[in-house]
Structure 1
């Protein structure tokens, strides 16, 4: 009898005094499913732990190096000396991985980051099966997929599920501060309307095929250079830039893609990649057959990874552009440029040599010198400091630089945790702000319609 009591006591301690309650709490935890994790962004979501997320993650994927790379990163994060994670990966490997995932329903949130050609179908069928979806960008890479995505959002609404994309750039501190300052009329004035030749908002970024992730050289899958699988640049990285324009210029406002967006022009171009460069970034020995359609006679691979979109959003002229090059110069990385033009001041983010390739935000007067402006700026800037203690203004020969403490400069990899935390917050509420879904639809309309225009 005593031994039974002892056993029951051990169970009670393990269950915090109530085994049934402990079981209920475990069952109520959010359970992640990593589906075909072919892109390192899937692993980056697990670089942190989350209180309401089960530590067991069910992985469904075909056998191959992409899965091995994913699991290697998870192992690396679990072994991190400073902040180790404690993920347990339950892996199913097989050609029927997708059907198996839908049948098992081992979790309630499907995480998608991989081949974009398959992604929209993964999204739709996961939603149809009653699963929430957290997807890496882009969720669609062409006009046909855009129509499928709209259906998925409708089904998600009917089933009370969440479908959300991973917009990490909303959590980059210079962009957050650019948005904050644009919301203070005394500092920024009103957003200009601009023209196609001189947009009110411009966002540009440069990216690199060869780069480091979590301290190691990134090995990219060969399909990453196939635009029929990855998507052209005009529908890929531009997703972030279009999202930021909507998020900054029309915060918390519902956008109607049929009424609010007018495309002016769109351009696509290719980055040349030599065979040796391709081999270095993929660790392969030669172009696979599906890429040979894009290879010239002199063994140069043409990757249509560059794009530019000029458009008007609710009458405000905007421009986004993305460019890919093979490798960044030593000590540099992906770079970003952004300007919001206001009637009183321009808010400019630069990330060049002068900034040591770190993003920096500047406030520059839009018109004539105004002796009274600086006093107003300093006074109203206190609103920003209340939200971001430690942020300061540094006077320059032309305008001011926003000085940001190191504690806010998390880095791109850390932003995946911020997005996940926001998604989990929405999941607990059972809903997202009313503007999120229509604005995701507006964003993907912009990119896919621009691709159609650029190809004409």
Structure 2
């Protein structure tokens, strides 16, 4: 029997804020959002900003519980903040039949998905079947069975004339953008070297943490976040971003056909150990749920396969991506990112360690194929070219042949701000009615690699 169905309206708060800002929120806009089963805070981050082409009334469909409560509370926090408040009006339907209700009512035309990854591909498929556009948090799928469904969903989206897109926030980090831009200047960079399995041309490593703060408050994880059958293993979760960046930076605007352009060399996985005390701190639960019993080791700790590494060849270039999850970052630190692109004349390296005060910094290092004077002259010319687009960037020497790229604060945006940038890009696709030709095949290629790597890694005892 279904739980009691409830309809919660948050129109009053939204109206008060709207009147305060002088906005006519009840005016119908072309794009109307539906938030479906928001089990991850990324769903709310899409609404940290307002968009002129998006109706302020958002319909939310979800099962009753703390995940929905947390989502609505975070949106309300954005509505009531002092600095540039939003004015979203949330109308939430609670009930076990939330998906059926959403499909029957169709009160919007864009479904926003960020939550339990076990069910996400089914939500995607049914939304597309209903003729709805979908903006989905990563990962869209977490195994090879899901990948087959995703291919079918993209094919169906094309037939239905709707757009299915995933939220790739890391494309909007300024150091990554500059790394890509410099790599596309052949006179300076010299093109990517082919690399090898032992010394890849491209390496990307990401370190994340189970316990962190979001928008100034401790992040409470749902218990299923620790269940890789629901969240997905590390190889198919955060690596989605890293594989996307390898494609996006190395072969921009080029279609990648996974059937001929990707060769998996190897993949491995290993667990993060989380104590019962840490689990309780992260989730607010006193007891580990029964569905996580299989993950408990002989010492009573949870062994979560959140870590992984993929070695592969993309269009003849060797690449390696890896993700590591620790429980909590040391005081004053946070998630980190390391990346290197190796060219004939220069290596482009992003570091985010103690020297960088745990903020990403891009370095340019000479490979020695040019003398020091010629290399610096080529760098100066390259920075001059990029400064036409990225106003204020500069470089400063660190040691012989090694330079730090200086980025003005005006170009730096936070991880949370990147969600608005991704959403704005997606909205531009909706308004034009199409995405660039390479986006869909490259999304398919990305998920082919992550799910294939997981399948291979699971055959090996860690």
The 5 Å alignment of 1:51-450 reads 51-370=52-371, 371-398=373-400, 399-450=402-453
Looking at structure 2, the residues matched to 355 and 28 of structure 1 have their Cα atoms a distance apart, in angstroms, of: 44
Looking at structure 2, the residues matched to 369 and 432 of structure 1 have their Cα atoms a distance apart, in angstroms, of: 40
The 5 Å alignment of 1:25-44 reads 26-44=27-45
- Is contact 1:126-1:133 (8 Å) kept? yes
- Is contact 2:239-2:322 (8 Å) kept? yes
- 1:45-103 deviations in whole A, cap 9, x for unaligned? 00000000000000000000000000010010001111100000011000100000000
Looking at structure 2, the residues matched to 135 and 256 of structure 1 have their Cα atoms a distance apart, in angstroms, of: 22
Residue ranges of structure 2 left out of the alignment (5+ in a row): 1-23
Looking at structure 1, the residues matched to 445 and 312 of structure 2 have their Cα atoms a distance apart, in angstroms, of: 12
State the 1:373 CA deviation: 1.9
Looking at structure 2, the residues matched to 267 and 375 of structure 1 have their Cα atoms a distance apart, in angstroms, of: 42
State the 1:379 CA deviation: 1.8
- Is contact 1:186-1:377 (8 Å) kept? no
State the 1:27 CA deviation: 4.3
Moved over 3 A (4+): 25-28
State the 1:26 CA deviation: 4.3
Looking at structure 1, the residues matched to 170 and 86 of structure 2 have their Cα atoms a distance apart, in angstroms, of: 24
- Is contact 1:337-1:349 (8 Å) kept? yes
- 1:432-454 deviations in whole A, cap 9, x for unaligned? 00000000000000100000110
- Is contact 1:201-1:340 (8 Å) kept? yes
- Is contact 2:29-2:54 (8 Å) kept? no
Which structure is larger by alpha-carbon Rg, 1 or 2?
1
- 1:241-297 deviations in whole A, cap 9, x for unaligned? 000000000000000000000000100000000000000000001110100111123
How many equivalent residue pairs? 434
- 2:340 aligns to what SS in structure 1? strand
- 2:229 aligns to what SS in structure 1? helix
- 1:324 aligns to what SS in structure 2? strand
Structure 1 length-normalised TM: 0.94
Aligned to 1:451: 454
Looking at structure 1, the residues matched to 297 and 452 of structure 2 have their Cα atoms a distance apart, in angstroms, of: 28
Looking at structure 1, the residues matched to 328 and 223 of structure 2 have their Cα atoms a distance apart, in angstroms, of: 16
Name the Cα RMSD after superposition: 1.2
- 1:271 aligns to what SS in structure 2? strand
